[in-house]
Amino acid sequence: MTIRAVLGAGLVGVSLVLTGTACDPTGKDEMHEHYLAQLEERLRNWPSLEDTARQITDAVDEIARAITARVPALRFELSDEATQGSCGGDFHRNRIGGVNREVGRLVAPGPIPDDAWPDVLADTRRIAASYGVTQMEIRVDKPGYHNVRFYDDTWNEITLGHVEATVIGGVTGCRLKSGTEPNPPVTPGGR
């Protein structure tokens, strides 16, 4: 077999995989359908969007109160309202109405003093964990500039950061709105 024949066969194989016709001539990917059904079942079993948003909002509010207790000069105000968005990751293809919600950020003018940061971080970690948000990622840890993210394995997230202002935010993982049918009908032939 010549190099040209090998390369030609390779290009045909790559194009079949990229167009999806190498898997199933009907264009339906059974493995994908099965995986998507599993993700949707997880959504049905998690708390509703409203309950989860309330929980994340409560955590953000409690963190703000704890910071103000340690640094009284920092008074938090809501800087933006809650917004709803599309799910990310593998959940973006859900067919049952899953969405996420940013709960609205709280902002206080001024940074957290460096000498208070370790205690504020410990308080925030404890509070987040009390709401089930137990994993932590330190994004930035420099004098005068800190940014940390707390998250769980259902994609709920709480963030805390400061440079010139201190900002606390939260977002739910992908959830179904309350009142969503437990097992919505699938349209004939699927999507």
The string of pLDDT tens digits covering residues 133-170 is 999 999 999 999 999 999 999 999 999 999 999 999 99
Return the HEC string of 5-74. HHHHHHHHHHHHHHHCCCCCCCCCCHHHHHHHHHHHHHHHHCCCHHHHHHHHHHHHHHHHHHHHHHCCCC
Q: What is the pLDDT of residues 27-72, one digit of tens each?
A: 555 558 888 889 999 999 999 999 999 999 999 999 999 999 999 9
pLDDT bin (cut points 50, 70, 90) of residue 182 is low
pLDDT confidence of residue 1: 53
Each domain of the chain, given as residue ranges in start order, spans 3-43, 48-171
pTM: 0.78
pLDDT at residue 189 tops 50:
no
Q: Give yes or no for a contact between 144 and 161, defined as CB atoms under 8 angstroms apart.
A: no
Residue 114 in this model has a pLDDT that exceeds 60:
yes
Q: Does domain 48-171 have CATH number 3.40.50.920?
A: no
What rounded mean pLDDT belongs to the chain? Answer: 84
Residue 76 C-alpha from the chain's centroid: 23
| Position 3 confidence tier, pLDDT thresholds 50, 70, 90 | low
